[in-house]
Amino acid sequence: MGKSDFFSLSKKLRSVEKDLTKGLIKWKIKREGLPSPDEETLERGSEQIVNETHKIMKRGGKRIFEELKLAKREFLKAYRDEGEKKGGKDHT
């Protein structure tokens, strides 16, 4: 893998991280019943979170991994609860 390929892949991964983060922010805001922020605010916020996550990972990746696992559990619980409220199937 050449140097330019590495940087291209790195940029793509960074973009995916930002998109995932934006999605999580939108989900959390909706879950809290707060008004949706504009796209520019979401973009800046997701960029800051991704940058901070990278800093944390450099200092001690285990803690952030535990936080991500907790966020996943919360997301799945909310998803299941939402399905039950709508009278749908349990999403397991």
Domain spans of the chain?
A: 3-85
Q: DSSP labels for 2-32?
A: -HHHHHHHHHHHHHHHHHHHHHHHHHHHHHH
pTM of the full predicted structure? 0.57
Rg (CA), the chain: 16
Give kind and range of the element (H or E) at residue 85.
Answer: helix 39-85
Report d(CA 33, CA 51) in Å as an integer: 26
What pLDDT is recorded for position 91?
Answer: 44
Query: What value, to the nearest 5°, has the Cα angle with vertex 27 and ends 22 and 32?
Result: 125
Mean pLDDT, consecutive 10-residue stretches, the chain (92 aa), reads 74 91 90 88 89 79 75 77 60 43
